[in-house]
Amino acid sequence: MALHRRNGTPFGKGNHDLRQNGSVAYTNGHHKSNGTVLTDETAHPKASKVGKKDFSESFEEVELLTALVTYMSYIILALVGYCRDILMRLGIDKDKAAQESPKLKAFTPLYQDFDSFFTRHMYRKVRDNWNVPIAGLPGAESDLLERYSDDNFWSFKLTGTTRKVINIGSYNYLGFAENHGPRSDAVVASTQYYGNGVCSSRQELGTLALTVELEKLVAEFLGQEDAITFGMGFATNSLNIPSIMGRGCLIVSDRLNHASLVLGVRLSGATVKVFEHNNMESLEKLLKMAIAEGQPRTHRPWKKILIIVEGIYSMEGSIVKLPEVIAIKKKYKCYLYLDEAHSIGALGPTGRGVVEYFGLDYRDVDVMMGTFTKSFGGSGGYIAGSKELVDYIRVNSHSATYASSTSAPVVEQVLSTLKTIMGRDGTTVGQDRVEALKRNTQYFRRRLREMGFVVYGNDDSPVVPVLMYLPAKMTCFARECRKRGLAVVIVGFPATPIIEGRARICLSAAHTRQMLDEALKIMDEVGEELGVKYSRHPLPPLTDKSKME
Amino acid sequence: MADAIMKFGVEPWNFAELVEAFKQAPLYHLAFEVILVVFIIRLIFSKSYSIESTVKLTEAEREQLVQEWEPEPLVPPVDPNHPALHYKVITKQGNNKLVVDGKEGINVGTFNFLGMLGRKETEDAAIQTMRKYGVGTCGPRGFFGTMDVHLNFEEKMAKHMGVEEAILYSYGFSTIASAIPAYAKKGDLVFCDEGVSFAIQMGLLASRSKLKFFKHNNMADLERLLQEQAVEDKKNPKKAKVMRKFIVVEGLYVNHGTIVDVEKLIELKYKYKVRVFMDESMSFFVLGKTGRGVTEHAGVDITDIDLISVSMEAALGTMGGFCLGTRYVVDHQRLSGLGYCFSASLPPMLASAASMAVDITQKETDIFQKLRSNNEFIHVQLSGLPGYRLDGDPISPIKHLRLEETSGDWQKDQAFLEKIVVRALDEGVVLTVARYLEEEEAFLPPPSIRIAVNVTLTEDQLTKITSVIRILAAAVLREKSEGE
């Protein structure tokens, strides 16, 4: 029995995304998957022309036994929780969570029972693995502030000491989280010239000359006519989708799209339909039905349809099958919104993102969105596209009208980083880092698979999820790694499906081969000890010898 | 009948009695029951009706429909003359000066109330932090995006304001817009002032709660709504027991310059058992003897407000925002505040700048008194201009200069006020009209020139500002009447 991924519940309906079970590999656009034959080959007329040669993604299915044990462990956790609740009610056990002020006892309770149950009995037990404070740069190596808890993680206290660790948790893809060097000096100069804030919105008195310069360069970098920038990446999605889409429109969204996209869609008031993650048959089938049926109840034709996808999915490490998405988008006359939060800078021969990675035409993507938080070491986001689109957003964006513009130091950080990536600073630093990231990604992913870990996602994705399944193993993995000098992010339910607890690694150009080897050694040791090397799949042979050099 | 029910309820089932009752029942009653039973059986076995099943299309028909469908363009064309496309470019900004499109002027357009933006101390603090932590945090708070700077800032603000807990966001707009839907959900009820800012409106929209708007700053109207609801609750106590109720207000309304009656609000809160959320983005570091906001100003206990949100993009002169309240309330956002969980954390250098701004006000204790006297000066000078109306509290640094009589065309009025703004810049005074998305606002305020007073303005500058506005306002009005 195979457990299907991504159906909301693991045993849910809709088994049409068979291709996600087992590994997916396609060469020159021809799909191979475990015994699944694609029924609708005509759906991808152009895919065979633009398909990338070495596009290879894998999502190894979970063993039945592991899945059952994982479910069991959640059931046991819940049962223990209920028992403790009973003990608390009897006054034997003590609930050390903050309590409602006695003045408000007569008010309707602020939270639902399940919320606090989850926090009290599940999240609390593993809290030490998140929000770990650091005392310095989120660079290739970081100083973790050590914490302890004398009340079973109800609260933490800092010990006052730090521990130097290799950081494979931060989104520092190109290593531009820096505090010295030419870019940092530029940030200092801009802070002294403009100050720390703006205190006004873009439409009023918040457009700095520096911001205008950045917008022009972003547009050029992405091969688009114009671009507009915002102060927060999350808000770029959640506050701009509503200005583009509205009632009578349809948004077709990948199941695993980020919370900011989901919020933007919700605020827009448009109808939303969700397709299976990166599953082109699901997308096409959905579009065909939606256009034929029209709007719900009235059956009027849709005003317009927007497909929303991400470049790299931050929890899966998968890369969007952009050539096929564009072919479908053209066939069904839809528009395409591409969120490049994780892929800008991190993919493509010169860091221009997923469009460049596939060698496609930038203008085929209608709305190019991305953030400056990750590869650029700054904060904020952008939207690039045709002049009509960007003009429309300038006039109608919630963010441009009401929210404060980005501070000068942040703009400067992004601007000088972008110049470096484009080689405008007269060095090859940017290009070198893009290449270093690619090398690190391929090396690290390959080595992990050799060790026998179940590694999700695309071979070229610097986001590397390593499956742990069991909540206990997952948390233990993070703790043991930290103890041995490796900072790694773990993600479990509810951010992932209940059985798919995982460690998530983000590689960086700043990691040296030595650091990576050290990190691999630690993961190998801990993985062996915990028995989380779940892979049963033989490794495919290396297609390109140079990758491993 | 009632007796029979009582009887059956108490005694064991008696078949003989049932047969007896059946015999005695009138014929029409039996006929009616038979019809009911037949109807129920039909209902069970009939095909379920759904809209989808009535439209069965063949594959070819679908293809046809797909081919015929023509979408609208992605975005409609915009007016090429819209001011947002001809934005003013700032090439220099200091504490009370601004260079706009190459022209320098005294700044009464941006929310830099305390002149913190442009002070060397805050810049130095930011740079010092940057030299250790860099600019961006490369991750959300959960994933190694928490720096000790963030923790210290949260602790400092909580302590400074006398609350248990503070939570730091990376964007002012997203602070309140994320905080509201963390608590208010579908099925809850929010009483909201008509004059609230757009960020609050977005938070309310995201919450999917039921909304009831009361007249701007009208506590009597709020009480009327609360009373209505109390009557409703009595009718349906089951629903009332699980429905959370909130009042959402601003301390100082950015769109009106008015101050909320917080004393009355707290009275209503306990009387009707409704939680109060207050956005203090404009009143924090403005109102009160030591700048602790509208609760200090009114002399009420800050802990009586359930949640306070503050944007750091006004008086603190940097970026980001934070929420204040009890640990029980605020900590919930650490797992449920969307803008907190899913966004990269605030660049630590900006938190340091804000922290330094707080320190400065601790040393320069007269800063709030001075701001207040500037506000009052401008209020007196600009009140009673013929043809205009000045909205806002005398002690508020935000004032809205509006037309006394509207032409009925919102955009025309806005364009009229814009003329004053353009000419004022030539005279060395930087003003701005308040910009709104006219279609999106729940209650669009009338157009206005929004004046934001700054503490660093000297007496000469204040006099200059008011005289320039007075002269231009009169001149533009005169030209209009001559033109007609």
CB contacts of A216 in chain B (<8 Å) are none
Distance separating alpha carbons of residues A546 and A432, to the nearest angstrom: 17
Question: What is the layout of strands, in order, in the sheet containing A250-254?
Answer: A226-230, A381-385, A367-371, A335-339, A305-310, A250-254, A271-275
Distance separating alpha carbons of residues A274 and B397, to the nearest angstrom: 47
Q: Give the closest residue to B161 by CA, choosing from B293, B266, B282, B253.
A: B293
Distance separating alpha carbons of residues A497 and A475, to the nearest angstrom: 16
Q: Does A259 touch chain B (CB under 8 A)?
A: yes
**pLDDT on residue A91:** 83
Distance separating alpha carbons of residues A345 and A420, to the nearest angstrom: 11
**pLDDT > 90 in chain A, percent:** 71
CB contacts of A238 in chain B (<8 Å) are 174, 338
Beta strand B307-311 pairing with B321-325:
antiparallel
CB atoms within 10 A of CB A334: 25
Q: Does A298 touch chain B (CB under 8 A)?
A: no
Q: Could you tell me which residues are beta bridge partners of residue A22? A: A59
Distance separating alpha carbons of residues A145 and A137, to the nearest angstrom: 12
CB atoms within 10 A of CB A38: 15
CB-CB contact of A504 with A315 (8 Å): yes
A52: confidence class by pLDDT, cuts 50, 70, 90: low
Q: Compute the average pLDDT of residues A527-545.
A: 79
Does A11 score more than 90 pLDDT? no
CB contact under 8 A, A391 and B139: no
Query: Which tokens sit at A126?
Result: 């593993």
Taken as a whole, chain B contains a residue count of 484
CB-CB contact of A464 with A458 (8 Å): no
CB contact under 8 A, A138 and B139: yes
Q: What is the DSSP letter of A123?
A: G
**pLDDT on residue B175:** 95
Check if B83-116+366-483 and B120-363 are the same fold. Answer: no
Q: Which CATH class is domain B120-363?
A: alpha beta
Cis peptide before A45 (omega within 30 of 0): no
**pLDDT on residue B50:** 57
Distance separating alpha carbons of residues A327 and A444, to the nearest angstrom: 33
Q: What is the DSSP letter of A401?
A: H
Q: Give the closest residue to A239 by CA, choosing from A387, A87, A131, A398.
A: A398
CB contacts of B69 in chain A (<8 Å) are 291, 301-302, 333
Give the rounded distance of the alpha carbon of B129 from its chain centre.
Answer: 31
Distance separating alpha carbons of residues A511 and A166, to the nearest angstrom: 9
Query: Which tokens sit at B312?
Result: 């750091």
CB contacts of B93 in chain A (<8 Å) are 194-195, 198, 208
ipTM of the complex: 0.87
Shortest CA gap A256–chain B (Å): 14
Residue A230 φ/ψ, nearest 5 degrees: -135, 165
Q: Which residue of A has its CA nearest to B71?
A: A304
| Per-block mean pLDDT, blocks of 10 residues, chain B (484 long) | 45 67 80 90 73 68 88 93 92 89 94 93 96 94 94 96 95 94 94 95 94 96 96 91 94 96 95 95 94 95 95 94 94 91 94 96 93 96 93 96 92 93 95 93 94 94 95 92 79
CB contact under 8 A, B110 and A199: yes
Q: Which residue of B has its CA nearest to A291?
A: B66
Q: pTM for this one? A: 0.87
Q: Which residue among A187, A289, A388 places its CB closest to the CB of B77?
A: A388
CB contact under 8 A, A379 and B170: yes
Torsion of CA A390, A396, A400, A401, to 10 degrees: 160
CB-CB contact of B277 with B285 (8 Å): no
Query: What's the sign of the alpha-carbon dihedral A523, A524, A528, A531?
Result: positive
Query: What's the sign of the alpha-carbon dihedral A153, A155, A160, A164?
Result: positive
SS3 A274: strand
Q: Give the closest residue to A201 by CA, choosing from B426, B172, B82.
A: B172
Q: Which residue of B has its CA nearest to A372?
A: B136
Q: Give the closest residue to B119 by CA, choosing from B360, B305, B365.
A: B360
Distance separating alpha carbons of residues B131 and A188, to the nearest angstrom: 9
For chains A and B, CB pairs below 8 A equal: 371
Q: Which residue of A has its CA nearest to B275?
A: A107
Per-window interface: A 82-141 vs B, CB < 8 A: 97-101, 103-104, 106-111, 115, 119, 123, 130-139
Q: Which residue among A110, A134, A297 places its CB closest to the CB of B329?
A: A110
Q: Which residue of A has its CA nearest to B134?
A: A179
CB contact under 8 A, B134 and A489: no
CB-CB contact of B71 with A334 (8 Å): yes
A385: confidence class by pLDDT, cuts 50, 70, 90: very high
pLDDT in tens, A175-210: 999 999 999 999 999 999 999 999 999 999 999 999
Does A32 score more than 90 pLDDT? no
Angle, alpha carbons B473-B477-B482 (nearest 5°): 150
Query: Which tokens sit at B264?
Result: 């009355």
Distance separating alpha carbons of residues A526 and A512, to the nearest angstrom: 21
CB contacts of B313 in chain A (<8 Å) are 197-199, 404
Q: Which residue among A180, A205, A394 places its CB closest to the CB of B100?
A: A205
Q: Which residue among B118, B273, B344 places its CB closest to the CB of A373?
A: B344
Cβ within 8 Å of residue B357, ≥6 positions away: B114, B116, B119, B122, B285, B315, B316, B317, B318
Q: Does A204 touch chain B (CB under 8 A)?
A: yes
SS3 B193: strand
Shortest CA gap B142–chain A (Å): 4
CB-CB contact of A353 with A174 (8 Å): no
Q: Does A206 touch chain B (CB under 8 A)?
A: yes
Measured in Å, how far apart are chain B's first and last C-alpha atoms?
82
Place of tokens 């601007």: A415
Torsion of CA A66, A71, A74, A76, to 10 degrees: -100
Spell out the domain ranges in chain B: 83-116+366-483, 120-363
Query: Which tokens sit at A410?
Result: 């942040």
Fold of the domain built from segment(s) B83-116+366-483:
Aspartate Aminotransferase, domain 1 (3.90.1150)
Q: What is the DSSP letter of B363?
A: H
Q: What is the DSSP letter of A201?
A: B
A10: confidence class by pLDDT, cuts 50, 70, 90: very low
pLDDT in tens, A260-277: 999 999 999 999 999 999
CB atoms within 10 A of CB A97: 14
Distance separating alpha carbons of residues B269 and B441, to the nearest angstrom: 27
CB-CB contact of B143 with A134 (8 Å): no
CB contact under 8 A, A108 and B244: yes
Q: Does A366 touch chain B (CB under 8 A)?
A: yes
Amino acid residing at B304: D
Q: Give the closest residue to B217 by CA, choosing from B453, B445, B451.
A: B445
Query: Which tokens sit at B305?
Result: 């407000």
Q: Which residue among B171, B202, B240 places its CB closest to the CB of A231?
A: B171
Distance separating alpha carbons of residues B401 and B257, to the nearest angstrom: 10
Q: Which residue of A has its CA nearest to B325?
A: A101
**pLDDT on residue A20:** 36
Shortest CA gap B295–chain A (Å): 18
CB contacts of B205 in chain A (<8 Å) are 267
- Give Cα separations from A456 to A533, B164, B430, B458 (angstroms): 13, 42, 55, 63
Shortest CA gap B463–chain A (Å): 22
Place of tokens 């200092």: A188
**pLDDT on residue B246:** 96
CB contacts of A139 in chain B (<8 Å) are 134
Distance separating alpha carbons of residues A380 and A437, to the nearest angstrom: 22
Q: Which residue of B has its CA nearest to A181?
A: B131
Q: Compute the average pLDDT of residues A361-374.
A: 95
pLDDT in tens, B385-397: 999 999 999 999 9
Q: Which residue of B has its CA nearest to A494?
A: B335
CB contacts of A235 in chain B (<8 Å) are 171, 173-174, 339, 343
Query: Which tokens sit at B61?
Result: 């028909």
CB-CB contact of A25 with A539 (8 Å): no
For A134-175+429-536, CATH gives 3.90.1150.10
Taken as a whole, chain A contains a residue count of 549
Q: What is the DSSP letter of B148?
A: H
Q: Could you tell me which residues are beta bridge partners of residue B450? A: B400
- Kindly state the helix (H) or strand (E) to which residue A265 belongs, with its residue range: helix A259-268
Does A148 score more than 70 pLDDT? yes
Residue A254 φ/ψ, nearest 5 degrees: -65, 145
Spell out the domain ranges in chain A: 134-175+429-536, 181-422
A181-422 is classed in which CATH architecture? 3-Layer(aba) Sandwich (3.40)
Q: Which residue of A has its CA nearest to B201?
A: A267
Place of tokens 């069965």: B56
Q: Give the closest residue to A205 by CA, choosing from B84, B417, B175.
A: B84
